[in-house]
Chains A and B, each alone.
Chain A
Amino acid sequence: MKLTQKDLLGIKDLSVEEINLILDTAESFIEVSTREIKKVPTLRGKTVINLFLEASTRTRTSFEIAGKRLSADTINISSSTSSIVKGETLIDTAKNLEAMNPDIIVIRHSAAGAPHILAKTVKQSVINAGDGAHEHPTQALLDLMTIRSKKGQIAGLQVAICGDIAHSRVARSNIYALTKMGASVTVAGPATMMPRYIEQMGVKACCKLEDAIVDADIIMMLRIQLERQTEHIFPSLREYSTYFGLNRKNITLAKDDVLIMHPGPVNRGIELAPDIADAPFSIILDQVTNGVAVRMALLYLLTGGN
């Protein structure tokens, strides 16, 4: 069993078999992170470059830890996209990195499709760590892993994804991932945050949070990006948190054993009431833990061979 492509650019390109392979492999990697010596020699002598051209702490750290626990040499390049635009083009950056013979390049970029340019330019495997509002495949995989380990299976679950769907790569990757695995997905958010024809992606869409979370097994809250207020996609934070925040009251609409997820970082008191974020049914930190395992699995599966 192997991944059929050299790169991981999006969930859309993955088959169910490939997703299962990644999740099964990741399960086995969980144990490595619990050891006293949290390191295996598998990627000894391999080089992983984390090219993060958009601010990120969590994902970059997660990839870095994943690489290090596999004994790879990990190099982080962090820069804002704007400085790259002014100077070197992405293709030149890619060619320079390629000339240093890394084995895997992980890229985070504010522009949708940037990892695809990289993948076409370099011979190394490219992992998309988030491109614009397009995809964030490793996030969706770690979400699947977390759901599977908590609920036993994914098929048949009711999952609500709530927030700024239009600008969310997490939403897109999770819609592909969850629908492929047989869950039914409802997305919710103000109409201003709902991209057109979203239902064609195989989900139900609604404009009231309450409608989406009724009988939900999983509620995935998205981070509201405060700077988007200038685009008039929500009137005020007060209005947003009142009508689209998850709290003790509206959560009772969901199933009794509902689990709350969030890709982080959480805006406490906006999309999630503080007591919800810390509640026992919140599995936000499990997501973070599983993130390392999923990224170890991907580095492992994508390295080596010709």
Chain B
Amino acid sequence: MKLLLKAGRVIDPSQNIDALMDIAIQDAKIVQIGPNLSEGQTNGRKGPSSKTKTIDLTGRVVVPGLIDMHTHLREPGFEYKETIETGSLAAAAGGFTSIACMPNTQPVNDNRSITEFIKRKAALAGRVHVYPIAAITIESAGRSLTDFRDLQDAGAIGFSDDGKSVLNSALMRRALEYASSIDMPVICHCEDPQLSAGGSMNEGFVSTELGLAPIPAMAEDVMTARDIIIAEYTRTAVHIAHVSTAGSVEFIRSAKKRGVKVTAETAPHYFTLTDDSLRDFNTFYKVNPPLRTKEDLEAVKEGLRDGTVDVIASDHAPHAVTDKDVEFEFAASGMIGLETSLALSLKLVDDGILTLPQLIQKMSFNPAKILKIPKGTLQVGVDADVTVIDREKIWTVDCHQFRSRSRNSPFHGRRMKGKAVMTIMGGEITYDESQNNA
């Protein structure tokens, strides 16, 4: 099977490419990239190739397959919220060819068998590369480290106790040191649970008005600062997940200036929504870290613009109706994002915060680099993971059309501009908008 992607605007930050080009794919690999490729000349093979499928991508943007380094697939344990299969379908529909999934399943992904189970299920679904992130501590309980090397061997690509911080600073130090020695990233959910105890929204004027128990921005900031301090001291790398506060952005910015090996991600809702959205107690806006203020939102955007924030990840967190259709303080935190992440992020380009290549870098090359996976590039010889984007497509989010098993998106009904219209993973088309609408 050969594929020839013709005449798209190819953007590949890893090779500094932003030009009208063709891409030739054969045997699941990219075999050629350049202007005006013809069907016959793919990789020097001679003769007419009747099996080559040519796709005209005039007017489309062609980028390295997008990577979402922060998702929750809920399987095993919470299959009523999402499964690896439904999550994979959602990822492909959102333009992603690789996703990393967090370990807060039931049981927690803290051992080889869970990691292997996830890999196996993902391969069966076959829609997206799924990279399991294993827990830092057993049951993510913060007491003792998991078997890092065994998990690495089983296919885990990083460690995180996502959903909480490793509170014991000495243990966190050991985790960073040990992970660093085997060249594995550690991803930190930064939250001081005593400062955030009982809270369900950002502490600010809105929480004062609504009387909802507040989570101060500093609950995130003190842990961001601590993790940076530990990384700096131990000269290890640390990745800060879902940055939502102006304070965290600033801590990361100054640490980077000092040469600390800190990287950071944010999620689309933190540069799109503020705590003002909570005024009618709609639990779809309940997320952790909580939606912050306009000032935080602007700081996150500035962090993206100046490179402090390296990655945009969805923090796709599926929850069933029963988890959300309850009193605000009892509702589960989280919103789904795989199928809205790209369009919300493209708004940054429309608003002049990022150039399109910068955005693509934050959604492909940068996460690949942090996770140390051979992805996020269109170089000849790599897996043919490609995302095709229609920059101009106007569409309205309809949560009932989602591939995800859950519907907890606050963006239902929102008009969006720009969409992934084709996703290709390993040379296979995993999502095709035209088929979808046919």
Which A residues have a C-beta under 8 Å from some C-beta of B?
12, 85, 89-91, 109, 111-114, 116-117, 131-135, 166-167, 169, 172, 195-198, 200-201
Contact = CB atoms under 8 A, between A and B. Distances in A.
Interface of B: 203-205, 207-214, 280-281, 322, 325-330
Given A112-B328, A113-B281, 19 more contacts: A85-B326, A89-B325, A111-B329, A112-B212, A113-B210, A113-B328, A114-B327, A116-B281, A117-B281, A117-B327, A132-B212, A134-B211, A134-B212, A172-B211, A195-B207, A195-B214, A196-B205, A196-B207, A201-B209
A122 to B, nearest CB: 14
A116 B331 CA distance: 14
Interface centre among B207, B325, B327, B330 (most CB of A within 10 A): B327
A196 B203 contact: yes
B212 A197 contact: no
Contacts of B203: 196
Contact of B208 (A12, A85, A196): A196
B208 A109 contact: no
Contact of A113 (B207, B212, B322): B212
B207 A134 contact: no
Contacts of B212: 112-113, 132-134
Contacts of A132: 211-212, 329
Given A113-B281, A196-B203, A196-B204, A172 B209 contact: yes
Contacts of A198: 208
B173 to A, nearest CB: 29
26 contacts: A85-B326, A89-B325, A89-B326, A91-B325, A91-B326, A109-B327, A111-B328, A111-B329, A112-B210, A112-B211, A113-B212, A114-B327, A116-B280, A132-B211, A134-B210, A134-B211, A134-B212, A166-B208, A167-B211, A169-B211, A172-B211, A195-B207, A196-B207, A197-B204, A200-B208, A201-B209
A172 to B, nearest CB: 6
A37 B294 CA distance: 58
Contacts of B209: 12, 172, 201
Contacts of B280: 116
Nearest to B280: A116
B216 to A, nearest CB: 8
Contacts of B328: 111-113
Contacts of B327: 90, 109, 111, 113-114, 117
Nearest to A165: B208
A197 B326 contact: no
B208 A197 contact: yes
Contacts of A111: 327-330
Contacts of B325: 89, 91
A85 B330 contact: yes
Give the top 8 A-B pairs by smallest Cβ distance, nearest first.
Answer: A113-B281, A133-B211, A134-B211, A111-B327, A197-B205, A195-B208, A113-B328, A112-B211
Contact of B205 (A112, A113, A169, A200): A200
A112 B208 contact: no
Contacts of A114: 327
A112 B328 CA distance: 7
Contacts of A197: 204-205, 208
B208 A89 contact: no
Nearest to A131: B211
Contacts of A91: 325-326
Nearest to A169: B211
B329 A112 contact: yes
Contacts of B210: 112-113, 134
B281 A112 contact: yes
A132 B326 CA distance: 14
A169 B203 CA distance: 17
B16 to A, nearest CB: 47
A175 B325 CA distance: 30
Contacts of A112: 210-212, 281, 328-329
A137 B186 CA distance: 49
B331 to A, nearest CB: 10
B129 to A, nearest CB: 38
A53 B376 CA distance: 53
A109 B281 CA distance: 14
A109 B329 CA distance: 12
B408 to A, nearest CB: 15
A196 B281 CA distance: 20
A114 B280 CA distance: 11
Contacts of A12: 209
A113 B325 CA distance: 12
B352 to A, nearest CB: 31
Contacts of A131: 211
Nearest to B322: A89
